[in-house]
Amino acid sequence: MPRRHFGREFAELSKKHGDVIHLDLLGQSMIVLGSLQAASDLMEKKSTNYSDRPSSVMVDLCGFEWLTVLKKYGAEWRHHRRTFHQYINPETLLYYEPIQLNVTRDLLRRMLEHPDDLSVHLKLSFGATVMRIAYGLDVADADDKYYKMVERVAEIGGEVAIPGRFPAEALPMLRFLPSWFPGAGFKRFAVEAKREMIYTVNHLFDAAKAAMDRGDAKDSMVTRFFDNISSGDDQTEYAEHMMKEVAATTYVAGADTTNAAVAAFFLAMALYPEVQMQAQKELEAVVGTNRLPNFSDRASLPYIDALVKELLRWHVVLPIGVPHRVVADDEYRGNLIPGGATILVNVWAVSRDPAVYPDPERFDPERFLQNGQLHVKGTDPASFAFGFGRRVCPGRLFGEASLFILCASVLSVFSIGAPLDPDGKPIEVKNTAPTNQMVA
């Protein structure tokens, strides 16, 4: 089992054993798919059998059962997806564009005033966007209580997602140890994590409801939900509980993954100044220098769109995706895939396939352009960057739109380069992006 770079190390195993690998982890079967073809054959064409999630001791103990992305495949998960789709879909994206624009332009001001705090600004920007859309709440700064609460949820999720971090995942029987027992520190961690988790999910939802009661609520997923049930639809306690979970999932999953992609954007621009110059040339020709880009400019900015596509490919946020689980025994290429097995797709390897993406380590938006127009037939990174089959990310269009407006806006105002040392000389920049993330 790889320990450092899951994508790269699994790719080396695939070179030796093929693009469908079986590992035995203390009696638990794990199947690693190393090609887009294998992933499509199983995850897409047989999605009913490959859309479940594996069980996790720490997910259960820490109270992450509300997170849609981790729910078992079934009626409750489908209800979550349908609810999310009511509020985030191609038709509703127009409603959120003014929010995205306002937050992005606020980010530009923060970057201008305090450029040394770039990472804080980026986290706050996407946190503020999704908080406003999900709950109608405004996040003022990094010390904001709402921001701190969800940051803590993301920290806990990051800990739980690290393979091998908690021995109880490999030996589930350890969950029955008393918390005072030597080596059972994971249970004390879980108790505190669950307390914080429940408080955050409830508090954010209650804060949105309180704003509605005061009459100063801003349009959001939560306000629209209550507008719908007030007219007689789904007036049940279950519906409200489910909306609470969907709103929390929207924030945690949306803000964290988009932030990771934008951090990689700044790295790419520093590493590839010629790409930055080409993007700025297009922006100057289309937008000019007297205003900032708008969503209405998108059709006239194919290079920026191609840059976003290349960003999704060059820096996959989840190198081995989110694990799936096989429901029942299956056969593929003459091999048995046992029911209950955990399935991973090596998304990193797919994004680095030289047959599809020549010179894959290079950041090159031109690979998605033909005759000056966006052309992604058969090569669209969105086909693997956002998951597979029935578990594909339902917010992928919103995510791409957010990346587009941020990249276009930043490049219209700033030039991005390597940091300087005390003597004013550029410091060498290296691609050291995280590689072992498993769950958004």
pLDDT in tens, 95-137: 899 999 998 999 999 999 998 888 888 888 878 888 889 999 8
Model confidence at 435, pLDDT cuts 50, 70, 90, reads: very low
The reported pLDDT for the residue numbered 237 is 79
Least confident among 208-222, 232-246, 263-277, 393-407: 232-246
Q: Look over the chain and give the mean of its residue pLDDT values, rounded to a whole number.
A: 88
Helix (H, G, I), strand (E, B) or coil at 32: strand
Model confidence at 233, pLDDT cuts 50, 70, 90, reads: low
Q: Which residues pair with 343 in a beta bridge?
A: 31, 324
Q: Are 389 and 44 in contact (CB under 8 A)?
A: yes
> Does 2 have pLDDT greater than 90?
no
Q: What are the CA-CA distances from residue 116 to residues 107, 112, 258, 408 (Å)?
A: 13, 10, 20, 21
Helix or strand holding residue 149 (H, E): helix 145-161
- What are 369's two structure tokens? 């352009």
- What distance in Å separates the CA atoms of residue 348 and residue 431, rounded to the nearest whole number? 15
- What are 99's two structure tokens? 């929010």
- CA-wise closest residue to 57 among 196, 245, 184, 155: 184
Q: Which residues pair with 369 in a beta bridge?
A: 374
Q: Are 197 and 156 in contact (CB under 8 A)?
A: yes
> Does 307 have pLDDT greater than 90?
yes
Ranked by mean pLDDT, the top range of 6-10, 220-224, 324-328 is 324-328
The reported pLDDT for the residue numbered 144 is 73
The reported pLDDT for the residue numbered 391 is 93
* pLDDT, tens digit, 9 for 90 and up, residues 359-383: 999 999 999 999 999 999 989 999 9
The reported pLDDT for the residue numbered 235 is 58
Rounded to the nearest 5°, which phi and psi values hold at 211?
-65, -35
The reported pLDDT for the residue numbered 438 is 33
The reported pLDDT for the residue numbered 275 is 97
* Backbone dihedral region for residue 36 (phi beyond 0: left; psi -120 to 50: alpha; all else: beta): alpha
The domains located in the chain, with CATH, are: 6-413 (1.10.630.10)
* pLDDT, tens digit, 9 for 90 and up, residues 390-411: 999 988 999 899 999 999 999 9
Query: Is 407 a known ligand-binding residue?
Result: no
Model confidence at 142, pLDDT cuts 50, 70, 90, reads: low
Q: Calculate what percentage of the chain has a pLDDT beyond 90.
A: 54
Tell me the average pLDDT across 261-288.
95
Q: Which residues pair with 331 in a beta bridge?
A: 336
The reported pLDDT for the residue numbered 145 is 81
Q: At what angle do helices 302-314 and 396-413 cross, to 10 degrees?
A: 120
Tell me the average pLDDT across 314-328.
92
The reported pLDDT for the residue numbered 440 is 25
> Does 353 have pLDDT greater than 80?
yes
* pLDDT, tens digit, 9 for 90 and up, residues 49-87: 999 999 888 999 998 888 898 899 999 999 999 999 998
Least confident among 35-44, 180-189, 260-269: 180-189
- What distance in Å separates the CA atoms of residue 281 and residue 279, rounded to the nearest whole number? 5
> Does 148 have pLDDT greater than 90?
no
Provide the sign of the torsion angle of the four alpha carbons 71, 73, 75, 80, taken in this order.
positive
Sheet holding 28-33, edge to edge: 20-25, 28-33, 342-345, 324-325
- CA-wise closest residue to 145 among 209, 207, 215: 207
- What distance in Å separates the CA atoms of residue 38 and residue 56, rounded to the nearest whole number? 25
DSSP secondary-structure letter at 52?
Answer: B
Q: Calculate what percentage of the chain has a pLDDT beyond 70.
A: 95
- What distance in Å separates the CA atoms of residue 237 and residue 346, rounded to the nearest whole number? 40
> Does 238 have pLDDT greater than 60?
yes
- What distance in Å separates the CA atoms of residue 440 and residue 431, rounded to the nearest whole number? 21
Other CB atoms within a 10 A radius of the CB of residue 212 amount to: 17
- CA-wise closest residue to 345 among 389, 405, 301, 314: 389
Rounded to the nearest 5°, which phi and psi values hold at 20?
-130, 110
Task: Identify the residue whose tokens are 């469908």.
Answer: 20
pTM of the model: 0.89
Q: 177-187 b/e with 16+ CB inside 10 Å = b?
A: eeeeeeebebb
> Does 439 have pLDDT greater than 60?
no
Alpha helices in 301-366 (DSSP H): 302-314, 347-351
